Structures are given as structure tokens and as C-alpha cells.
Amino acid sequence: MKSRGIAKFLTVIVVAAIIAYIAFFGINAGNYSITPVQKNIRLGLDLRGGVYVLEQAEGNVTQDAMTRAIAIIRNRVDSLGVAQPLIVQQGSNRIRIEIPDVSNPDQVISYLGQTAQLKFVGPDGKVILTGADVKDSKAVYQTDQSGVQQPVVTLVLNAKGTKAFADATKKYYPNHEIISIYLDNKVISAPRVDAEITDGNAVIQGMKDFNEAKNLANLIRAGSLPVTLKQVEYNSVGATLGPSALKASEEAGLYGLIIVLLFMIAFYRLPGLIADIALGIYILINFIVFSLLHVTLDLPGIAGMLLSIGMAVDANIIIFERMKEEMRAGKSIRASLDAGFRKAFVAVFDSNLTTLIAAFVLFFMGAGTVKGFALTLIIGVLASMFTAITVSRFLLKAVVETEFTKNIKVYGA
């Protein structure tokens, strides 16, 4: 019986240690590899800095239009060379955009939200070309008549656009008339037609710098948005504020965890030590689930996780108090353990169930950071119920089977 209890206890500890090592350090075995959990958990903008915006499509929009809009915005973001952006649909007509580590957030958001409807319009008001007629666009330097290099955007037209542009330049060349180039109904260039252009190439001049030319080329290449977007929510976090918030959160969580661990041992002794081990397993389960679900961890999410840690400890306290009552009533340690878990189960289950109900309501009806808080709380509560009711009980039973001591004071009574 003694050896069986020791074997059970050590098996759980060794298995948990192996899983923890693989989870946090990863493993590579030939073609098979496991990525460390911390690499699969995305940090929110409030922890790493960046910009967040919620755009809403105006008017009645279809799902197809929203899908195309997201794809175009993603192409625009990719052209910026930004790592790990988040671009997702929220509801039926909103797009959530999160971009980390940007130095000029206002300019970036303005760039992403542009409809970018390109038009070449003749002097008679007729549309000659649109963005749909452009096959490619690039920002380059071009030497003007005075020998000065100026940033311009070069366009390569498709077959339809090539013919339309050739016909237009042939028509307007004799009188050197002007073709106006519009972007979102604003004139960005108005060149005079000095030759008939038949090779399918066009140039947009009038760029104030190369960066403006590059952004315009990227916009044209990505395509115009099929919907008009209106900004409904915006937040920018500085590059220094994010990391400082993360450091403060880590320190607060660590100090709080140490205090909880010491409290459990001081007040509940051996069961408290078992609860601390179960709490370590609980934290391990949390991070593994976060990694599998690719959870975005922000400040509200950390708050939800810490709250669920408190609930995990609270469940153990309820159980251990019931055990102490049974031991003081004269029951054996084994009988007190069984009775304590049995009598505490309803209270633990009910408290966790009510928290889960509230968390699910927040998750399905909330938005943004509220959903993050709710998600980590849901994961934490489910994990805490498992560790408090199953892991703690299994480890305590294993310790009791070793007949380590029959002194009820060791069990906090």
C-alpha cells in the first residue's frame, strides 16, 4: 500500500515535469517538432505596443464584399512588412485590425482604411481607366525635363486598359488636353497628354516624396475596397508602454502567486503543499490550452487568468476546510478526505458554474478586450475545476496511502 501510494504520487510529478519541459522548451525529433507554448501565444497590443482599429462598412454589405475587403486590407498590411498583424471580421459588417510595433499609427490606419478607388478621367468627364484596368504598379524615381529625379508611380495596364488608354491619348493628344487622375474622388495628378501611348504603361506624377509614391503603388496593387469603411474605435499604445505593462503584469502575477503558495502551506500544511503542486499543473494546463487555441493575451486576459487562479485556490480551501471538520469530528484521515471532497463538491461546482455562465455571456456578447478576459477566465475555471477536484484528490489519496503520518495537525486540523 505504501509503495503503491509513492508510485502514484511520483508518477504524476514526473509526467507533469516532462510535459512542462516539452511545453516550455519544445522538442525536435526528426521531422516531428513541438513549438514552445510561449511562441504560440500572441501578446495583445497593450503588452507589446501598436495600434488597434475597428472599421465598420457603411450601408448594406454582403459577406462576399467583407471577405474581399479583409483580403485587400491584409495585402496592404503585408506591403508594410509588419509581423503578426491581426485582421478579422467582427460581426456582420466590422473589421478588427491590430498591428504591432508601428511608429506612425495614424498614417498606417489612414492608409489601410482608404477605399483607393482609382480613376483616369478625360476632359469631357468620361472615365477612361479604373483600378481594375491596372495589372501592376511600382514606385520609382524618374528624371524630369530639368534633370531632377522625382518620385512617381508607374502603372502596367491589362489588355483592356491598354486599348482604352491608347484610344484616349490618341483622342486628346492633338490639343494636348489634360487627363485627371483621381484617388477616392480627389485629384492627385493632372498630366497633359503630350504623346499617344500604346504600350500599356502610364505614370502618375506629383508625389511629394518616395514614401507617398510607394504607399500609392501599394494601394493600387492591392486593389480598391469593395466597401466604404468608417472608423468606429481606435487605440494606440506606445512601444515603451506595452513592454512596461507586460513587465509589471509579470511581476504582479509572480508576487501574488508566491504569496498564495506560502499561504496555502502555512494554513493547510500538507494539503496546502499538494494544492500548490496542483496549482502548478493548473498553470501548465492553462498555457498549453492558450497555445493550442493561439490565444491573444492582453491585460484583461491576464486579469481573467489571475482571477481563475484565485478560484482554483478557493476550491481547494473549501475542500480542505471540510476535511478539517471531519478530522476534528474524529474520523480517520482517509475517511475525512473522502467526506471533505464529497461535501465540498456541490459548493465548488456551483461557484464555478455561475462564474462560467457569466464568462460565456461576456464572451458571446462582449467585444475586443472583454472577449479576451472572458476567454481566459473560461479556460482557467475549467482547468481549475479539473485540478481541484481530480488532481488534488488523486495526489492527496496517494499521500494518505503512503501512511506518511497519522498526525492530523500535519493536515491542518
**Structural domain boundaries of the chain?**
2-40+238-411, 50-114+228-237, 118-217
Residues 6+ apart with CB under 8 A from 290: 37, 40, 41, 297, 376, 379
**What is the topology classification, in CATH, of domain 2-40+238-411?**
Multidrug efflux transporter AcrB transmembrane fold (1.20.1640)
What's the one-letter identity of residue 130? T
Tell me which of 3.40.50.620, 3.30.1360.200, 1.10.3720.10, 3.40.30.10 is the CATH number of domain 118-217.
3.30.1360.200
Which CATH architecture describes the domain 50-114+228-237? Answer: 2-Layer Sandwich (3.30)
pLDDT digits (tens, 9 = 90+) for 342-353: 888 888 889 889
Helix (H) or strand (E) holding 71: helix 63-79
Distance CA 179, CA 373 (A): 54
Please answer whether residues 272 and 320 qualify as being in contact, where contact means their C-beta atoms are separated by less than 8 angstroms. Answer: yes
Burial call 150-171: b when 16+ CB within 10 Å, e when fewer: bbbbbbebeeebbebbbebbeb
Q: What is the pLDDT of residue 347?
A: 87
Mean pLDDT, all residues of the chain: 84
pLDDT digits (tens, 9 = 90+) for 278-325: 999 999 999 999 888 888 788 888 888 888 888 888 888 888 888 888
pLDDT digits (tens, 9 = 90+) for 54-110: 889 888 888 988 888 888 888 887 777 766 678 888 888 888 888 876 767 777 777
